Amino acid sequence: MEKTMLDSIRETAEYIIKEVGTAPDTAIILGTGLGELVDHIEIKKELAYKDIPNFPVSTVEGHSGKLIFGILGGKYVMAMQGRFHYYEGYDMKQVTFPVRVMQQLGVRKLFVSNAAGGMNKEFRVGDVMVITDHINLFPEHPLRGKNYEELGPRFPAMTEAYDRGLVKMADDIACEKKIRLMHGVYVGTQGPTFETPAEYEYFRVIGGDAVGMSTVPEVIVANHAGMLVFGVSVITDLGGKDVLEVPTHEEVQKAALKAQPVMTELIKAMLERIG
């Protein structure tokens, strides 16, 4: 009989449980800007993507993806070091497969981070933006096709795709620690081009504050799975018709690196508070 998506998810989760024993209830997808967080995890176990059955393998050079299990902010977590982007050529089922495996493992809370271009005129390069909502502009939907009721409903609500309680917690921590924390709507696009000035303007007009090439697929699947999601973007460049600077991958990486300590402090404090 042909292996279904459910079979693959279960097989992968079983492998992970066999390797790590118990699974955590909180997961973190370490996108750009949160890589440094790994240095703060008291690592118990690491699994290379290439050794995990059914896992896609990262294509980005020098990026050997792995799942990390350990203690952060006093809490047992799993972290994905390296994610799968749609622009790399993966389909949406591959991009979101790790989130399905997290679901199978019993993960209830998901933290995600990314780099994004800012359209909101109040934003500055290096700002950290809590994602309060998103606009999905990817050309393929991760839930398209057969719906497995075991995984979630056919028509899931996206009313609170980013948990308001977690946003409030982040605000409280930012206030206490004097962190400049912006709020905004993240527009998810396929990339890999950065936007034209007219596109940045357009994304602003439709209600976006920042734009990036990830996160939305994983967040949709996490919501379908009933998880609570917290998302955060590092604003690595600004876009619009008045902006003359040309965004480059290097600039994005540099700005993200600068924002890392703040992102790390915020996520650690949140995990401590969640208990």
Interface with ligand HPA (CB under 6 A): 115-117, 194-195, 211-213, 236-237, 239, 247, 252
Q: How far is the CB of 195 from ligand HPA (least distance, A)?
A: 5
* Contact present, 258 and 115 (Cβ < 8 Å): no
**What are the φ and ψ backbone dihedral angles of 103, each rounded to 5 degrees?**
-60, -50
The nearer residue to ligand HPA, 19 or 88, going by C-beta atoms, is 88
Q: How far is the CB of 112 from ligand HPA (least distance, A)?
A: 14
The nearer residue to ligand HPA, 195 or 218, going by C-beta atoms, is 195
Query: What distance, in Å, lies between the first and last C-alpha atoms of the chain?
Result: 44
Q: How far is the CB of 53 from ligand HPA (least distance, A)?
A: 31
Please state, in angstroms and rounded to a whole number, the distance separating the CA atoms of residues 149 and 185.
Answer: 29
Q: How far is the CB of 29 from ligand HPA (least distance, A)?
A: 15
Burial category of 201 from C-beta neighbours within 10 Å (exposed 0-12, middle 13-18, buried 19 and up):
middle
Please state, in angstroms and rounded to a whole number, the distance separating the CA atoms of residues 38 and 30.
Answer: 8
Q: How far is the CB of 89 from ligand HPA (least distance, A)?
A: 17
Residue nearest to ligand HPA (CB): 117
* Contact present, 215 and 134 (Cβ < 8 Å): yes
Please state, in angstroms and rounded to a whole number, the distance separating the CA atoms of residues 146 and 136.
Answer: 20
Q: Using omega within 30 degrees of 0 as the cis cutoff, is the peptide bond preceding 192 cis?
A: yes
The nearer residue to ligand HPA, 47 or 219, going by C-beta atoms, is 219
The nearer residue to ligand HPA, 209 or 237, going by C-beta atoms, is 237
Q: How far is the CB of 117 from ligand HPA (least distance, A)?
A: 2
Tokens of 229: 């999601």
The nearer residue to ligand HPA, 142 or 239, going by C-beta atoms, is 239
The nearer residue to ligand HPA, 24 or 33, going by C-beta atoms, is 33
